[in-house]
Structure 1
């Protein structure tokens, strides 16, 4: 779309390195010259009473996409200890990482005249020479976010963008009529992008549902559509092929819970070794690049060690989440937030991985892990889990079929996610080019539907 937009006929130096040249008829101003910052709530005493409905916006109710989730409360409940704002003000999060992530909003459609929110917001009020929506677009620029992050002050983890940075931020200011055109063009483009992104997200959801249906059917009914079925006697499983067995996991697999964290050597022969914990294991994926270390004896390294082909299953967190280990550097062990699973020799770990994935979507893990408290998928619960056991040749055929089928589905999901990612990059670049005057949208706006 930007390739169809023309540059302005004439430019002038802005005097600002990152801004470079700007349209010749635009002004270059500091933000404090066109907007007021953090207005005092004392102005509201003239019309606000204790019972007046006001909007309340804690940080979690303001998105990174400009959207807000309003809660209306009496003014008396939020008068003290919160940041004051009014309809058409612009909010900008000032604390890390909310600032860098882009939390903020233009409040033109606020349902109440007045609102209060987190003290971690800067409030910008547009003056006569700038539109609130144009001002908000300026605060979404990557340059604004990167420069603000560089100017943060305070202790690590509690750093904030100072008001002085926002006040002195330079901007290129077009005439009001042109700001109106820019806002209209970007709003129109945003709607088109969001509609397409929504369609891609719906496609991803459908593909993920289809993927799980393919897995579930294969591990519960096999690949022969004409096979005779029998009741399994297992609630989550239903009917299975008549020639399959149904047994507890512990009858066919060994389960080894990992080692409790040891922060130092207990004896001189202990060794510091890398270990994996629950966060390193996602569905069908094991991450080894950021493994921390703990101390263990040579015997424990052997006892809790992992090798290619092992199945790692989460004991805590999302109990039951698992992945096959395809490759791992030597010397790694597992912490006690993970189980290591190995077949006794007559079954496949990769088949069990697909079975576990199927069970997870039935809600059965949530039921047995007691998520009302701290979820734990203990070795006892895991070992007692009833699963379908096809003959080994059928397990091999099922795994081969599912590897191929899920690879095709995963590729389609990855393509859709990449499209969403590229659209996000395009949107960011477009906003920057438009609000800094690199492209002229005035003719394009004239062609937009009313």
Structure 2
């Protein structure tokens, strides 16, 4: 007969932020794994970049961990976004990473996977958020909250069985996500096939500057907002992170306070072509096409809206895909001022000088029709993905319910 599950404190079943043992046997030149915060994918819950460093480079100023330890981001917004992963495949079985990770090392009563799925729950992360300490923008989950969190601990055999179930459900989510990603990539692949390299212009089409084809470049405002999603009758302001990987995520916004009067000129509309004017080196100049909007969403001052001249002969979907092309993205980065250590910025004046090839309108229209059809498929895939994610989250909640 299998022993009944018990409720324990997280600090009882794992070591939280264990120190590097004195008897670690690491030499100055020993290779160890290295995991910066950016290496952890918040969506998949995996370490995407397998980096190594010499022990001498990381022994001070970084968080130590070992093979099979669970890494959990403690700082906002990484924690809310779900940045957590099991450290595996570490060089020499040892790793070092961001000081913004909490490290959970399983004791004999729990599996590392059990801890991983526990901290991946939305319910756990909501509770963790309520425990935040620190100032705005630098708030963190304290170690005391982690140690005092209640966790269900069934027998190891039952943990393995339920981990297998969760792994299968998470695998379905991953497949749904990959299918949608491939559809979105196909849109850009069709553009590359129809028009060729965006800077080489192999078909010798006319070249114009962005300023030649734009009527104007709008920018919004960034008042102090409530850090929560808006109600249907409220107004929201996009976060900069709403533009990522050439996609528009309207749910990534803050709420405009009642005392602030919304400027209707800054409202995001269906068919808008947006561009991130200020961001990191990777994301500065990121374009996004607004396929649809629920309304009452405003532009911040860090996002441009590119408004085409009606007589320009340039379709917004064609221009969106063109601005997404790797060669154009490199040019946009070169236009940005500032340093990689801070946020880079593209001015309206520099942006207007960007050269673009202008394909025949019939070709652009044909591409837009392909893109629209594939976007329709992507919406169906998104619905299937949402169902899979909801199923996975429901399983997590049911399995870890005390």
Q: Could you say which residue in structure 2 is the equivalent of 1:100?
A: 80
Q: How does 1:13-412 map to 2 (within 5 A)?
A: 25-41=4-20, 43-45=21-23, 47-64=25-42, 65-68=44-47, 69-210=49-190, 212=191, 236=201, 238=203, 255-256=215-216, 316=277, 340-343=307-310, 347=311, 351-354=314-317, 356-357=319-320, 359-360=322-323, 365=328, 371=334, 373-374=336-337, 375=346, 378=349, 387=358, 406-412=371-377
Q: Equivalents in 1 of 2:159, 2:303: separation in Å? A: 59
- Secondary structure, in 3 states, of the residue corresponding to 1:125? strand
How many Å separate the matches in 2 of 1:403 and 1:321?
16
Aligned length: 356
Instruction: For residues 407-427 of structure 1, give each alpha carbon's deviation from its aligned partner in whole angstroms, at most 9, with x where no partner exists.
Output: 433211211122223222222
Q: TM-score, normalised by structure 2?
A: 0.67
Supply the distance in 1 between the matched residues of 2:170 and 2:90 (Cα, whole angstroms). 20
Task: Give the Cα–Cα distance (whole angstroms) in 1 for the partners of residues 376 and 84 of structure 2.
Answer: 34
Q: Structure 2: how far apart are the matches of 1:58 and 1:189? A: 28
CA distance in 1, matches of 2:156, 2:79: 28
Is the contact made by 1:26 and 1:173 (CA closer than 8 Å) also made in structure 2?
yes
8 Å contact from structure 2 (residues 62, 99) kept in 1: yes
Compared CA separation, residues 155 and 237, structure 1 to 2 (3 A): same
Unaligned runs of 5+ in 2: 224-236, 257-262, 279-283, 338-345
1:216–1:153 Cα change, 3 Å:
same
1:161–1:415 CA distance, 2 compared to 1 (3 A) = same
C-alpha distance in 2, partners of 1:97/1:200? 25
In structure 2, C-alpha distance between the alignment counterparts of 1:104 and 1:335, rounded to whole Å: 29
Task: Give the deviation of 1:205 after TM superposition.
Answer: 2.1
Superimposed CA distance per residue, residues 362-403 of structure 1 (whole angstroms, 9 cap, x where no aligned partner): 66755775726545564895698664677xxx89xx86x777
Give the SS at the match of 1:197. Answer: helix
Secondary structure in structure 1 of the residue aligned to 2:22: helix
Deviation (angstroms), 1:170 = 0.8
- CA shift at 1:239, angstroms? 6.5
How far apart, in 1, do the equivalents of 2:241 and 2:88 lie? 41
The correspondence for 2:390, drawn from 415, 425, 430, is: 425
Structure 1: give runs of 5+ residues left out of the alignment: 1-22, 218-233, 241-245, 264-274, 293-300, 438-450
Distance 1:335 1:160 in 2: 26
Bigger CA radius of gyration: 1
Q: Is the 8 A contact 1:57 1:71 kept in 2?
A: yes
How far apart in 1 are the matches of 2:90 and 2:193? Answer: 46
RMSD: 5.0
How far residue 174 of structure 1 moved from its aligned partner, in angstroms, is 0.5
How far apart, CA to CA, are the structure 2 residues paired with 1:251 and 1:60?
Answer: 35
